[in-house]
Amino acid sequence: MNPQATDAPRLDPRRAVPRTDAVLRDPRLREAAARLGEAPVKSAVRQAQERARQGAVPPGAVADTALALLPRTAGGLRAVLNATGVLLHTNLGRAPLSAAARQAVAEAAGPTDVELDLRTGVRARRGRTALAALRDRVPSAAAAHVVNNGAAALVLAATALAAGRDIVVSRGEMVEIGDGFRLPDLLVATGARLREVGTTNRTTPDDYAAALDDRTAFVLKVHPSNFRVTGFTRAADVTELAPLGVPVVVDIGSGLLAPHPLLPDEPDAETALRAGAALVTASGDKLLGGPQCGLLLGTRDIVRTLARHPLARALRVDKLTLAALEATLTGPATPTDEALTADPARLRQRAERLAHALAADGVDAHAVDSEATVGGGGAPGVTLPSAALSLPERYAAALRVGADPVVGRLTAGRCLLDLRTVPEPDDERLAAAVRSAPESAAGSASVSAAGSASASASASAGR
Ligand SMILES: *Cc1c(COP(=O)(O)O)cnc(C)c1O
């Protein structure tokens, strides 16, 4: 039975959109509120009302629309808008996939020819088209292999090439990637020995040369991707290490395949291989802008050794990853690249347009200049000029728990929504999320706000 038939909602006299309290009486929404909490349910209702006011759904379908906006479980993965200004935010899953990659994942989800040649009916090499696409983009790589992530690429290289032997590495490159993940620990766990050379700030080619002997498996170069050492420093580059006579393995981290004009200090696979590296390892979900995976690019012999090692099977990627990787490599610019190259003047225009529209609805919003960063996934120290929507601080929490969650950042007592990490077509989505930010955020907590701000905030909350 339709609960609204016995408990007719009071209608907004102007637009026939049912009021929030009436919609919230729907038993399905009451159940959802008990499960997920009041805030996301109210936010979903507000967003559904907004759609009804705009004529996108019939006024009678507000409760159904709100239900459809809610996650099925409180713990599930939720889609969020990344307005942090951090392009590769680890907590938000790093690189967002391109439309082409998402489409490819959807198509690959059913049975696919991942290991079958449809013309001959004979078993074929897994991921052959993705690997070919990778080699096309990195002409100096004679061969390529893909594993689960950057760490797995290092594990495979260390295990297959250096178990029981030495990896020679600079003391300045014994890095912690994040969340307690320390590269030296990972390498030692494979059974390889680490031979540390040089000092924290300075390591010369002679330091490496002096450490080489018949136990040396390879020299490892690691890109310090989340910090910078400045001042009295010296690091040996691949060109200086390649002539030493042992393979040079380069962990570039970020997954740039070729030099990027905006990131001159960020290492790339093609340059490292051309300089003489035998193997390059990288992540797929950093600056490459693809799915989580680990790329291994190098000489035919070394890549064959890795791909045939028993551990390779334990680290192999699934068909969804291969599909997304290939589409990323062959498709148009990724969202990560678009965020990286976005024009600051255009970002400012968008911020002003959004601020104007929201202020007209009574939200204390204005446009501000901002600085975005690439993130832990690469380019430490690089800031990208950006623009943001500035809102009262209390919006930060409200937007996170909304029906369509938005993650911003707090700066100087304001909640900033940085537009460099928000694709332009999502501007309306962002505005709708701000408008329907739960009452607790938009209406209360006005003690510290200026009078006009609190008045306008509660005006917007009353919509
Ligand atoms: C990110 C990173 C890794 C780890 O890669 P994951 O894909 O996160 O496993 C290893 N080395 C460097 C230099 C990195 O930047």
Task: Tell how far the Cα of 411 is from the centroid of ligand 1, in angstroms.
Answer: 28
Taking CA atoms only, the protein residue closest to ligand 1 atom 6 is: 150
Nearest atom in ligand 1 to 175's CA: 13
Is 279's pLDDT higher than 90?
Answer: yes
Nearest atom in ligand 1 to 224's CA: 13
Res 77: pLDDT: 86
Q: What is the mean pLDDT of residues 280-286?
A: 97
Task: Tell how far the Cα of 91 is from the centroid of ligand 1, in angstroms.
Answer: 15
Nearest atom in ligand 1 to 284's CA: 7
Q: What is the mean pLDDT of residues 38-57?
A: 87
Task: Tell how far the Cα of 187 is from the centroid of ligand 1, in angstroms.
Answer: 13
User: 283 CB under 6 A from ligand 1?
Assistant: yes
Task: Tell how far the Cα of 302 is from the centroid of ligand 1, in angstroms.
Answer: 20
Q: How far apart are the first and last CA of the chain?
A: 29
The model's pLDDT over 284-311, given as tens digits with 9 standing for 90+, comes to 999 999 999 999 999 999 999 999 999 9
Res 285: pLDDT: 97
User: 223 CB under 6 A from ligand 1?
Assistant: yes
Strand-strand pairing, 366-373 and 383-392 = antiparallel
Q: What is the mean pLDDT of residues 432-456?
A: 53
What percent of the chain has a predicted confidence (pLDDT) above 70? 90
Task: Tell how far the Cα of 364 is from the centroid of ligand 1, in angstroms.
Answer: 40
Lowest mean pLDDT among 69-83, 233-247, 433-447: 433-447
Taking CA atoms only, the protein residue closest to ligand 1 atom 8 is: 150
What percent of the chain has a predicted confidence (pLDDT) above 90? 75
Res 459: pLDDT: 29
User: 177 CB under 6 A from ligand 1?
Assistant: yes
User: 225 CB under 6 A from ligand 1?
Assistant: yes
Mean pLDDT, all residues of the chain: 89
Confidence of residue 8 (pLDDT cuts 50, 70, 90): very low
The model's pLDDT over 233-245, given as tens digits with 9 standing for 90+, comes to 999 999 999 999 9
Confidence of residue 9 (pLDDT cuts 50, 70, 90): low
Is 449's pLDDT higher than 50?
Answer: no
The model's pLDDT over 87-122, given as tens digits with 9 standing for 90+, comes to 999 999 999 999 999 999 999 999 999 999 999 999
Res 36: pLDDT: 79
Res 460: pLDDT: 30
User: 253 CB under 6 A from ligand 1?
Assistant: yes
DSSP sequence for 259-318: --TT-TTS--HHHHHHTT-SEEEEESSSTT---S-EEEEE-HHHHHHHHHSHHHHHTB--
Is 35's pLDDT higher than 80?
Answer: no
Cβ–Cβ under 8 Å, residues 248 and 208:
no
- Ligand 1, pocket-test mutation among 283, 292, 295, 317, most atoms within 8 A of CB: 283
Taking CA atoms only, the protein residue closest to ligand 1 atom 7 is: 150
Q: In angstroms, rounded to a whole number, what is the distance separating the alpha carbons of residues 269 and 248?
A: 13
pTM, full prediction: 0.83
Q: Which residue has the higher pLDDT, 178 or 236?
A: 236
The model's pLDDT over 365-423, given as tens digits with 9 standing for 90+, comes to 999 999 999 987 678 889 999 999 999 999 999 999 988 999 999 999 999 999 999 99
Cβ–Cβ under 8 Å, residues 387 and 422:
no
Is 84's pLDDT higher than 50?
Answer: yes
Is 199's pLDDT higher than 50?
Answer: yes
Task: Tell how far the Cα of 438 is from the centroid of ligand 1, in angstroms.
Answer: 38
Is 197's pLDDT higher than 70?
Answer: yes
Tokens of 383: 């800031």
Confidence of residue 7 (pLDDT cuts 50, 70, 90): very low
E-strand ranges in 94-180 read 116-117, 122-123, 143-147, 166-170, 176-178
Taking CA atoms only, the protein residue closest to ligand 1 atom 12 is: 253
Q: In angstroms, rounded to a whole number, what is the distance separating the alpha carbons of residues 410 and 39?
A: 20
Lowest mean pLDDT among 96-105, 130-139, 228-237, 442-451: 442-451
Task: Tell how far the Cα of 178 is from the centroid of ligand 1, in angstroms.
Answer: 9
Res 2: pLDDT: 46
Nearest atom in ligand 1 to 181's CA: 4
Is 124's pLDDT higher than 50?
Answer: yes
User: 284 CB under 6 A from ligand 1?
Assistant: no
Confidence of residue 72 (pLDDT cuts 50, 70, 90): low
User: 145 CB under 6 A from ligand 1?
Assistant: no
Task: Tell how far the Cα of 153 is from the centroid of ligand 1, in angstroms.
Answer: 9
Res 161: pLDDT: 98
- Ligand 1, pocket-test mutation among 154, 167, 177, 251, most atoms within 8 A of CB: 177
Q: In angstroms, rounded to a whole number, what is the distance separating the alpha carbons of residues 90 and 252?
A: 17
Task: Tell how far the Cα of 177 is from the centroid of ligand 1, in angstroms.
Answer: 6
